[in-house]
Amino acid sequence: MPANEKIGFIGLGIMGTPMSRHLLNAGYPVTVWNRTAARMKPLVDAGAAAGTSPADVARKSTVTITMVGDSQDVEAVIAGKNGAIEGATAGSVVVDMSTISPVTSRALARRLAEKGVQLLDAPVTGGSAGAQAATLSILVGGEKAAFDRCLPIFQKLGKAITLVGPSGSGHTAKLANQILVAGCMSGVAEALVFARKAGLDLGTWYEAVKNGAGASWHLTTQAPRVLDGDFSAGYMVKHHRKDLRLIQETAHELGVPLPVASAVLQLYRSLQATGGDELGHQALVRVYEQLAKVEARR
């Protein structure tokens, strides 16, 4: 049996649902809440308890996890009306596994600390496939004691779990990771469209380069999906757009130029304008295809 922790899980989207199920299957008592109540039913049917609000979830939990969309969503479920802060008791931990602004994260940590509650910012990378397989990479900011306490929980969700620094560091590390993602995905899209426009057979080209110096997770995972015309979402365009916006805001505060990430954000905004927000982020290739007047498929 797991340690004496009662888990609350707030946010049951394509990431939160499998993550909360892993914790339930590991033997933790889990209380769940989602803004769209119907999403709670499969987990309640599997043995979870249904919370009536984020405050109710936190009241019943020793560790409350949030996995929602943007900074304002995290602020709402933690510090808003009926937010987790209203139910959390001294000595408990709140873990935000969303991807949000480090500034917001640090502000929430200060507010929770006034109640004797610790906040860990612990965003993840690995997409829906990683959430389903419990192979996520988890980047954690906060106090080491809280990290050590929550490590057994994290180990049910991911494989690479790293305490990267104090409060806000986890979200900063995730934003830096998303700069890598932007560069890799745009590079794959450009290469595919270039090779097709030059008349190469893309299946042959992919096999020739997939193990070379240009190899990356995005090449080996997303390029085959593009070649097959599969633009289903493991990680939605709108979420990557949000991440890139947060990166721009943070870079502005730091005075750091980010020419590549800035350009990729504009490309994703072009994709948004043509109705692509709900597609997987590999759909970035569609913008390049439109510009080059070619389709990069097998």
* Two tokens, residue 267: 């490309």
Distance CA 93, CA 112 (A): 9
Query: Of 139, 132, 178, which Cα lies nearest the Cα of 19?
Result: 132
Distance of CA 132 to the CA centre of its chain: 13
> In sequence order, what are the residues at sequence separation of 6 or more whose Cβ sits closer than 8 angstroms to the Cβ of residue 245?
265
Tell me the backbone φ, ψ of residue 199, rounded to 5 degrees.
95, 10
β-partners of residue 95 are 65, 120
Query: How far apart are alpha carbons 49 and 87 in whole angstroms?
Result: 16
CB atoms < 10 A from the CB of 65, how many? 30
Q: Which two structure tokens, joined as six digits, stand for 109?
A: 């940590």
Phi then psi dihedrals of residue 236, to 5 deg: -70, 150
Pairing of the two strands 124-125 and 136-141: antiparallel
- What are the helix (H) ranges across the chain? 16-25, 41-45, 54-59, 71-79, 84-87, 102-113, 127-133, 144-154, 169-197, 202-209, 217-227, 237-254, 259-273, 285-292
Question: In the block, which residue shows the tokens 């080996």?
Answer: 220
State yes or no: is 115 an active-site residue.
no
Of 174, 197, 210, 293, the catalytic one is 174
Q: How many C-beta neighbours within 10 Å does residue 75 have? A: 18
Phi/psi of residue 176, nearest 5 degrees: -65, -40
Active site amino acids: 174
